[in-house]
């Protein structure tokens, strides 16, 4: 992984936590998951134990184990591993932050407390300072989730150099093609890639899109079993999976051997 001084930029995949059908973490596929991100999607930065990774549905011990596995499996393959350490308890956040530093993570992130909430900006800043102080050598990121727009291209135009997202797990290659077109000032191609990606995102949002559905899509595209989410979330419906699969094929995001679909949408 990268030295602490290297700037975090480019695509950052918000990783999924693979689980068995019984709701236990499936650590055995994380190594394969790392290779898939790097070799198939061209994504070498990850954000672990966030919303997509069901971090707040995991025990503290599980969060530590998941972080360790990603850091270990990503060594010499990933550029940066950022660990989300936010929790309802300040002490737990500090424990997770210190642990992230000890295992060699490249950064930590914290979501604002959401049960006992900060009454004002100063209280929130004090909370964040206390967590950051537990891992003073690591870059610290405030994990804020504004309204999602999906418009990475617009962000690039105003100076953004990267983004964190769950879709980069399986649409990283297409998004990187958009970034490359933007860099070479081929704005027409970049816009086409953005529209193509957005068509799929808009489609699944209409069906109902969340962690469960992200797991189902990642399983379809990568072939790596992500399993169901942990309760209280429910497994994606068969109807959703079938509809998403058809849309992925129509956009040529899902290459299936022996298929010859004449209804592909233009995406390149």
Instruction: Check the annotation: does 51 bind a ligand.
Output: no
Contact 224, 212 (CB under 8 A): no
> Residue ranges for the binding site for pyruvate?
52
> Residue ranges for the binding site?
52
């Amino acid at each position: 992984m990268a030295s602490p001084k290297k700037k975090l930029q480019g695509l950052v995949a918000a990783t999924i936590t693979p689980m068995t059908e019984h709701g236990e973490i499936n650590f055995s596929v994380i190594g394969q998951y790392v290779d898939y991100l790097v070799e198939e999607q061209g994504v070498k930065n990850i954000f672990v134990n966030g919303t997509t990774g069901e971090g707040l549905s995991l025990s503290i011990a599980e969060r530590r184990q998941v972080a360790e596995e990603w850091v270990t499996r990503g060594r010499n393959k990933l550029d940066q591993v950022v660990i989300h350490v936010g929790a309802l308890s300040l002490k737990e956040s500090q424990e997770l932050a210190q642990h992230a530093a000890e295992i060699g993570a490249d950064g930590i992130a914290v979501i604002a407390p959401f049960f006992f909430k900060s009454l004002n900006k100063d209280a929130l800043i004090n909370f964040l300072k206390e967590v950051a102080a537990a891992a003073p050598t690591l870059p610290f990121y405030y994990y804020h989730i504004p309204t999602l727009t999906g418009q990475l291209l617009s962000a690039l135009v105003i100076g953004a150099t990267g983004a964190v997202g769950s879709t980069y797990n399986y649409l990283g290659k297409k998004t990187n093609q958009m970034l490359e077109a933007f860099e070479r000032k081929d704005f027409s191609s970049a816009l086409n890639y953005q529209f193509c990606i957005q068509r799929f995102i808009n489609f699944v949002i209409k069906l109902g899109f969340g962690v469960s559905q992200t797991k189902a899509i990642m399983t379809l595209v990568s072939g790596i079993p992500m399993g169901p989410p942990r309760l209280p979330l429910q497994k994606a419906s068969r109807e959703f999976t079938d509809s998403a699969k058809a849309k992925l094929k129509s956009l040529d995001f899902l290459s299936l051997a022996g298929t010859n679909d004449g209804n592909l949408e233009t995406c390149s």
